[in-house]
Copies of this chain bind each other. A is one copy, B any other.
């Protein structure tokens, strides 16, 4: 018979709110019931800032990367920056159009992972997943490092402490995200709109000044740029072509973030696919406009930035500017130029850029835990990744992402240029495989679809995704070739490790499931129960354990004690007789003064004598309140228990006796019960 009703909620006084709980509530806000899930879904006007921040924010550093890479060939190469910008804009348009197909076809939040898994099989899915996980970590590291750079541009005193600022920012984001996705969406909506207004406004003002002929020169316009040795003799040949490709590859950072929407579809309100597609189009347009405007304005204001400014930039006096020179990012320099002496304008732009970069990192904080939980459901990740915390966020994923990105930030000294070399590979792996998956998806659908209008739509979609595949595939090859030795190998290695670990986890779970699968024979009852009560002294806990063991009516019941010295054993036996306890007491002598092994050996011997029976070991334990009290008592009970668990056909029963001091500890434990953050 099976009871289907919910268990009666036991009558308990309202739970006391302990110290841990107060802290947790302050950080996280009130608990949410699982049924409140729908309340955390995003309308479009909130979804745009949450997901748009990633692709939009890259204009804070991707134009810089184009110029930085070209700077190696000197000022002559700068003229190619327009063309590179246009190439990137083209790729962006293709990717956005392709992904509009993705988000409408797959809406579960599996994103590229799901597309690849469904259409290309598990291994491809796992490849995409590895690539995305690594890139989420890099998104946080790059965006936050760039944000710290903008913070230093705005407030000079922070220049020495960018790593610290970056780590603090990650910690802040972590706590926001443990509070749950919706709340962070609301908190972040305003700065996204401010950023869009600031950058687009600044660009418009810049172009107006250009037309009016009043546009000034950038602060770095007066510096000279010294090319690297290869390029002293001019910018030609294979080396030049390779450098252009590398600049293009670095600039493709502008495209990151598009995949975040694909993975975030479940967070949209219905109709999810349509809303996601619209959001995608909107932000593709905005991002392209911004990036192109910034590249153009940087060219006309003669911005000079270099990979190694201390040596490459030559001051008006003919000497390098040296290590004291702080190189402001392009957006910062444009703001100084366009707003000229109007300080508030400069501040709005740099602060808004810093904030949008925070939001970009936040996108990863939305995407990573969701992806991890999807992977955990497929048994590629530890089960704990599917646990939703008090505020319904996937807390463990959030914490894992925070950990890895802090490691990266510290390891790379929060330097954007070094981190960016690791970046993008993952995104383009994911783009390419997902587009391949979509082409196969449509091909399969077309095979069974007969209605003309639908077939027509599918064929169009397949063409779009095919173009997407060829473009993203080409870019992936370019990125791999140009960036491998500059750091991309680290990202690729990390992906490989991710892949292998996830395969291993899946294999482990599968083998455990197989090993544990229930069979009919498992329901056979043991033939007899031999109960052993472990005794150290004759006191209340012992008597209670004896009483409880008797209540289970075992086939045999005996008490067992371990004696280091004959005198101790004799005393206990005498006391035992005097108390008139109707259970025999067996003494295990331990000449080498061990506690655990005699018990384990004895238990095993009993069990092996009757293999189809069970040995039930009862351990009297007294429960103490304070950690220092525990120091004063031998911890043999715990050691014996954990050792006995390795024996087959043995059960271990703790019979607790609560000392008065334990009640305070019980309350503390009550609070810590389910400490999932």
In the complex, A670→B651 CA distance in Å?
Answer: 18
The reply to whether A33 and B591 form a contact with Cβ atoms under 8 Å apart is yes
> In chain A between 534 and 568, which residues have their CB closer than 8 angstroms to a CB of chain B?
537-544, 546-548, 550-554, 560, 564-565
The reply to whether B516 and A540 form a contact with Cβ atoms under 8 Å apart is yes
Stretch at the interface among A149-157, A271-279, A601-609: A601-609
Question: Who on chain B is nearest to A667 by CB?
Answer: B646
A522 located at the interface, meaning its Cβ lies under 8 Å from any Cβ of chain B in the complex: yes
A650, chain B: closest CB distance, angstroms: 7
Q: Is the interface of A mostly helix, strand, loop or mixed?
A: mixed
Specify which chain B residues have a CB less than 8 angstroms from the CB of A593 in the assembled complex. 34, 387-390, 674, 676
A310, chain B: closest CB distance, angstroms: 39
* Interface residues, chain A, with chain B CB atoms under 8 Å away: 1-4, 6-12, 31-35, 382-384, 387-390, 505, 508-509, 512-513, 515-519, 522-526, 529, 537-544, 546-548, 550-554, 560, 564-565, 573, 576-577, 579, 581-582, 584-589, 591-597, 600-602, 604-605, 614, 616, 618, 621-623, 629, 631-634, 639, 641-648, 650-660, 662-663, 665-666, 669-670, 673-674, 676
The reply to whether B525 and A540 form a contact with Cβ atoms under 8 Å apart is no
A-B contact pairs, 17 of them (CB 8 A): A1-B584, A2-B576, A7-B560, A7-B589, A11-B605, A388-B593, A508-B632, A516-B539, A517-B540, A518-B538, A596-B674, A597-B670, A623-B646, A643-B673, A644-B656, A646-B662, A651-B654
Q: With A34-B593, A601-B10, A646-B666 as given contacts, are A522 and B548 in contact (CB-CB < 8 Å)? A: no
The reply to whether B12 and A604 form a contact with Cβ atoms under 8 Å apart is yes
Chain B CB within 10 Å, residue with most, of A522, A553, A573, A670: A522
Q: With A7-B560, A591-B35 as given contacts, are A656 and B665 in contact (CB-CB < 8 Å)? A: no
Specify which chain B residues have a CB less than 8 angstroms from the CB of A655 in the assembled complex. 651
Partner of A565, one of B34, B387, B526, B604: B34
A664, chain B: closest CB distance, angstroms: 10
Partner of A34, one of B382, B591, B662: B591
The reply to whether B653 and A651 form a contact with Cβ atoms under 8 Å apart is yes
Partner of A645, one of B389, B508, B623: B623
Chain B CB within 10 Å, residue with most, of A592, A600, A634, A666: A592
The reply to whether B650 and A652 form a contact with Cβ atoms under 8 Å apart is no
Specify which chain B residues have a CB less than 8 angstroms from the CB of A389 in the assembled complex. 593
In the complex, A632→B663 CA distance in Å?
Answer: 33
Specify which chain B residues have a CB less than 8 angstroms from the CB of A629 in the assembled complex. 508
Further contacts, 11 of them, CB under 8 A, given A516-B657, A643-B670, A652-B656:
A1-B584, A7-B560, A383-B634, A522-B543, A529-B552, A551-B614, A552-B554, A645-B654, A646-B662, A646-B663, A648-B658
In the complex, A588→B7 CA distance in Å?
Answer: 5
A455, chain B: closest CB distance, angstroms: 36
The reply to whether B539 and A526 form a contact with Cβ atoms under 8 Å apart is no
Question: Who on chain B is nearest to A626 by CB?
Answer: B508
Chain B CB within 10 Å, residue with most, of A3, A517, A632: A632
Question: Who on chain B is nearest to A594 by CB?
Answer: B674
